[in-house]
Structure 1
Amino acid sequence: MVKLFKVDPKLAPTFQNSIVLMNSGNFGLPVSQLVFAGNPLGISVQVIVLMFQNLITYTYGVIISASTRSTGFWRNLSELFKTPIIYALVLGLLFYQMPWELPTFIQTPMQQVSNGFIALALVVLGAQIAYPTLKQFSFLFFVSIFARLIAAPLIGLGIIWVMGLDGTVAQGLLIASSFPMSRNSALFALEYDNYPDYAAQAVLVSTIASCFTVTFFIYLSQMLF
């Protein structure tokens, strides 16, 4: 698609990230908790999707964004080691395998912070979309919006049918594929100077438009599965 539309090399990573990376955390978790209230399986599907999205974000997303600064693979790969989530993942796996328990004075405040995640995430999302100004829309801009909000969940629906999934799992995956662009795509664009205004506007517009598209796919998931 990038070659088809002859996208500027510095805009290409932002365009690709805006389609591939979605807001599975700030937006996705609260929506899933609302839709699947009292159904742990539906929420678990979203948590798993969120985990994979985080891995994609801080591997593929970082490398492709850094590619505008250098064409060297190892130079771009080194950008991964500047992201804290890589080290957090390693430590998390380590603690999970070890029969250790955190002291109460550490575990209690961490649990309280964890309980406040959803509320804090919504505040951060609001701050993220509060400042971009809407200007200089282009055809490519609307292509990315359409691809993220309409084409991606339709592709997801096709994969669900091919895999023969049904019930809550199918509902959760379809809904999870319909969420708007991730704010991380805007953060990466700002960090690597890859058209940050374009990215911020795309996040804002896709988040607003998702009020209608996500509602539609929630309804469609309940009708089909």
Structure 2
Amino acid sequence: MNLSAHPVVASLTPVFLLVALGFMAGRLQWIRDAAIKDLSNLVFLLLIPALLFRTMSAVRFEELDLRPLLAYFLAAGVLLAVLIGWRGFNRRSVVLALTGVFSNMVMIGITLVELAYGKAGLVTLLTLVSVHALLLLTTATVVLELAVARENRQAGAEQPHLLATTWSAFKSALIHPVPLPIICGLLFAQTGWSLPTVIDRPLQLLGNAFGPLALVLVGITLARTPLTGHWQSALWATLSKNLVLPVMVGVSAWAFGITGLPLTVMVVAAALPTGANVFLFAQRYEVAQETTTASMGVSTVAALLTLSLVMLVMSWW
């Protein structure tokens, strides 16, 4: 048997090679620290919106199956609650729980799923992506604000109104370079129109540039990630994110009667390493920043094995 021809190997190898090349570029300092933010802005503000809008601009509402949304976020919500309850209700607990639940669906997931499962798989993934940050990050914001309010009450300090904070978090998550172009693309698709070639072609070229650049950027970021001193917490977060969540999502999907390609894409999405948005929460709430960074790094490195295992199991399902 030609191992290199196996679909799991064929789809994972280019992903991890590009991450490895980015890691090498980061270690050799071919990309300066100041340029990383500019590259990130290029990916998130130009390339991602072009890819997401173009992909969803041909998808009709009647073609969408919303059961994966219910199944995935039920499992993610339950795991988030269990992890918070396990560590106790405080800011650190919430941030570390989010680290064990929030997947890197955009930077790694989009390219991987398209390589492995084609456009049909990508539509299922983008359905999840469209509300992934909106639901999980808004929920995390509300829970974190409740934790901060509890701490402030204990300290006798004033706290902004929770509804105002929640509304602000919801708006920030909605008016964002990921969900907004997906929603706009879906709305455009319902008109029955087709994108003119002079618009469609540039969007296609921008979208094609997203995958390689995003994966190289993951590697560059990984090269700048300190992993020492936080191994125990990072390993617990990695176990939760890379293995426990995909099992829970698989069970939840089975309970909803989801089978075939949508089930596979959901489980693979759940097995992706921790997404970078979690660090923004650690930074904003000034808690567990080094642990979160280390967890993202360990989760990404471990995904070389855990993601391969999950995809292999799902290929036999």
* TM-score computed with the length of structure 1 as normaliser: 0.81
Contact 2:231/2:294, CA 8 A, preserved across alignment: no
The residue aligned with 2:291 is: 198
The residue aligned with 2:127 is: 48
Structure with greater proportional helix content: 2
Question: Compared with structure 1, are the counterparts of its residues 117 and 156 closer, same or farther at alpha carbon in structure 2 (3 Å cutoff)?
Answer: same
Deviations 1:123-156 (A, max 9, x none): 3322332212112226443322111111111111
Q: What is the aligned-residue RMSD (CA, Å)?
A: 3.0
Q: CA deviation at 1:161?
A: 2.4
Contact 1:23/1:183, CA 8 A, preserved across alignment: yes
Contact 2:273/2:299, CA 8 A, preserved across alignment: yes
Q: CA deviation at 1:178?
A: 0.9
Aligned residue type for 1:28: G
- 1:27-66 maps to which residues of 2 (within 5 A)? 27-36=108-117, 39-65=118-144
The residue aligned with 1:74 is: 163
The residue aligned with 1:10 is: 91
Aligned residue type for 1:48: T
Corresponding residue SS for 2:271: coil
Which is greater in Rg? 2
Question: Compared with structure 1, are the counterparts of its residues 49 and 99 closer, same or farther at alpha carbon in structure 2 (3 Å cutoff)?
Answer: closer
Q: CA deviation at 1:42?
A: 2.0
* Structure-2 separation of matches of 1:99 and 1:46: 23
Question: Compared with structure 1, are the counterparts of its residues 67 and 6 closer, same or farther at alpha carbon in structure 2 (3 Å cutoff)?
Answer: closer
Aligned residue type for 2:119: P
Gaps of 5+ in 2: 1-82, 150-158
Return 211-220 or 48-57, whichever deviates more. 48-57
Aligned residue type for 2:288: Y
Identity among equivalent positions (%) equals 20
The residue aligned with 1:164 is: 257
Question: Compared with structure 1, are the counterparts of its residues 200 and 171 closer, same or farther at alpha carbon in structure 2 (3 Å cutoff)?
Answer: same
Tell me, yes or no, if structure 1 residue 187 matches structure 2 residue 288. no
Contact 2:100/2:241, CA 8 A, preserved across alignment: yes
Gaps of 5+ in 1: none
The residue aligned with 1:21 is: 102
Tell me, yes or no, if structure 1 residue 141 matches structure 2 residue 234. yes
The residue aligned with 2:80 is: none
The residue aligned with 1:152 is: 245
Q: Figure out how many residues of one structure are paired with residues of the other and give that number.
A: 221
